[in-house]
Amino acid sequence: DTVLTQSPALAVSPGERVSISCRASEGVNSYMHWYQQKPGQQPKLLIYKASNLASGVPARFSGSGSGTDFTLTIDPVEADDTATYFCQQSWNDPPTFGGGTKLELK
Amino acid sequence: EVQLVESGGGLVQPGRSLKLSCVASGFTFSNYGMNWIRQAPGKGLEWVAYISSGSSYIYYAETVKGRFTISRDNAKNTLYLQMTSLRSEDTALYYCARTGVGFDYWGQGVMVTVSS
C-alpha cells in the first residue's frame, strides 16, 4: 500500500502562512487530495487532484505538488482553521490516507 | 444539498454481526460510486470498501476482506455494509462517502463498538 507521511502537529499564529506537507512512498501522479476535520465532525474535502479548490472552500487554501511530494498551504491562517488535516491518494489501490497533521493556533 | 445519513451502529460482541446503512439525498445516487471509511477513536482514516454506481465493481481493504460485504439499493438511495465476525479492532466511527474526485461528501458517521 502507498504510505503517506505527514508531520503530526503544527502551531501557528493567526494571520501567518502555514504549509502542511505530505510525502508518498511511491508516485501518485497528481491524485492527492486534502481534507479538513474539525473535532466531532466528518472530514471535508478541501483540495482535489493536488491543486484544485473544492466547492465553497475559501481561496486562503491552496495545494501544490506532484509525484511524491505535496503541500497544503493556508494563507492567512484564521482561528477557525484549527483542525486536523489529512492527505489522501487515489492513484494506487487501495486508497490511503496520511496520519493527519493537527493544526493549532497560538 | 447533498446529505448522507448513516445508521445501524452500536455495541456488539466479538464474533457477532452488524449491518450499517447510509441513506443518500440531494444527488442522483445511482450515478456515483460509494465508499465506507472508518476512523478508530483518536486515530486516522482507513478506507474500508468501495462499490461502483451499478454494483459491478466492488473492492475491500485487506483488513476486512471476507468478513464485510458492501452493497447498495439504488431504488432506495441506500448504501449498506454487512459486517460479520467482528473484532475489537473493528471498533471505529464508520463514514459513508461519495466518490467524486477524492471523497467529496461524507456522512456524519455511525459508531461501532466491538466489546464483550
Phi first, then psi: give them for residue A74, nearest 5 degrees.
-120, 120
Of B47, B106, B108, the CB nearest to A94: B47
pLDDT exceeds cutoff 90 at B101 = no
Give B68-114 as a DSSP string: EEEEEETTTTEEEEEE-S--GGG-EEEEEEEEESEEEEE---EEEEE
For the segment A10-54, what is each residue's pLDDT rounded down to a tens digit? 999 999 999 999 999 999 999 999 999 999 999 999 999 999 999
Closest by alpha carbon to A22, among A98, A103, A102, A90? A98
Task: Find where cell 484549527 sits.
Answer: A82
3-state secondary structure of B31: helix
The answer, for B102 touching chain A at a CB cutoff of 8 Å, is yes
Phi first, then psi: give them for residue B104, nearest 5 degrees.
-90, -20
Distance from CA of A13 to the nearest CA of B (A): 25
Q: End-to-end distance of chain A based on CA atoms, in angstroms?
A: 36
State mean pLDDT over B50-57: 97
> How confident is the model at residue A20, as a pLDDT?
97
> How confident is the model at residue A56, as a pLDDT?
95
Mean pLDDT of all residues belonging to chain B: 97
Of B62, B102, B107, the CB nearest to A88: B102
pLDDT exceeds cutoff 90 at B108 = yes
Residue B11: CB atoms within 10 A of its CB come to: 12
State the Cα–Cα distance between residues A100 and A36, nearest whole angstrom: 9
State the Cα–Cα distance between residues B57 and A55, nearest whole angstrom: 28
Of B59, B102, B109, the CB nearest to A48: B102
Largest CA distance in chain A: 38
Largest CA distance in chain B: 40
Residue B114: which pLDDT band, with cuts at 50, 70 and 90?
very high
Task: Find where cell 509525484 sits.
Answer: A67
State the Cα–Cα distance between residues A84 and A98, nearest whole angstrom: 11
Handedness of CA B59, B65, B66, B72 (dihedral sign): negative
State mean pLDDT over A87-92: 97
pLDDT exceeds cutoff 90 at B50 = yes
pLDDT exceeds cutoff 90 at B41 = yes
> How confident is the model at residue A99, as a pLDDT?
97
Closest residue in chain B to residue A3, using alpha carbons only? B46
- The rounded percent of chain B whose pLDDT value lies above 90 is 97
Which triple of cell numbers denotes residue A103?
493544526
